[in-house]
Amino acid sequence: MRIEGNLIRSTERMTGIHRDTIMRLLVQVGGGCALLMDREMRDLQSKRIQVDEIWAYVGRSSAT
């Protein structure tokens, strides 16, 4: 539902699941995604990157 642009509170109303539970799930899934990306996506020789209309902040550790 977040991918489709629904807010946390509207997701809460639609699902009947408390917003704190939704947020905990998002944090847990995000952590798993970070681990997966860190493990699998290394030393890429990308010249062009295409992104979808979903906006996100992409961070990088200070170690180079």
Write the pLDDT tens digit of every residue in 4-27. Answer: 788 899 999 999 999 999 999 999
**pLDDT tens-digit series, residues 24-55:** 999 999 999 999 999 998 888 888 887 766 66
Is there a contact between 2 and 26 (Cβ–Cβ < 8 Å)? yes
What is the model's pLDDT at position 44? 85
* Alpha-helix runs per DSSP H in the chain: 8-15, 19-40
Q: How far is CA 4 from the centre of its chain?
A: 13
Token reading at 61:
């550790």
